[in-house]
Amino acid sequence: MITASLDTSFVPPPIYANYGSPMSRTRKERVSYTILGKDDGYIRCPQVIRLGLHFDGEDPVDTIERIIDEEGFSAPSELVDIVQPPVGRLICRPLESRFRRLRVITGSRPRVLRQALMLGLCTAHIYDSSRPVLWTHTSLLRVLELFDPRGFYA
């Protein structure tokens, strides 16, 4: 008669996650590098445009809606055919406050409407021409730099 027995006394050794140095040699370093704005080399993500509107203390949504009404448009979506914003998705990055914004009151209406439309198509990190135009205080007061990621994701 053949009997099989299992050896239950075997316990695997513990696994320690050691990254190669003692704890006394660990350190923290801040790495700061970006591929955004790079238009040469194998990885390219060139800057497309900078957006930012200055409303001189007026309500951003009311001001843009008034301008749209004065220009004869009934909805923000009608601007897409006239302004022809970039098609597709772009990466957005907030710009520092030193960037000179376009003044809405004195700026040319086509430039103001183009920037307002594009800001309405942006979130804090992505511009998407297929999303609906959303004008809020936050979206119209953003100051953004847009980058084309096709050289990175190609």
Closest by CA position to 143, among listed 106, 96, 108: 96
Cβ pair 151, 46 in contact under 8 A? yes
| pLDDT at residue 142, rounded to an integer | 93
| pLDDT at residue 117, rounded to an integer | 93
Phi-psi region of 23 (alpha: psi -120 to 50; beta: other; left: phi over 0): alpha
Q: What is d(CA 134, CA 124) in angstroms, rounded to the nearest whole number? A: 12
pLDDT in tens, 108-154: 999 999 999 999 999 999 999 899 999 999 999 999 998 887 755 55
pTM for the model stands at 0.71
Name the DSSP letter for residue 95.
Answer: P
38 pLDDT more than 70: no
Q: Which residues pair with 89 in a beta bridge?
A: 128
CA distances from 24 to 19, 29, 30, 48, 51 (A): 13, 15, 19, 46, 47
pLDDT in tens, 52-107: 999 988 999 999 999 999 999 888 888 888 888 888 888 888 887 677 899 999 99
Q: For the chain, percent helix, then strand, then coil, each to nearest 5?
A: 30, 15, 55
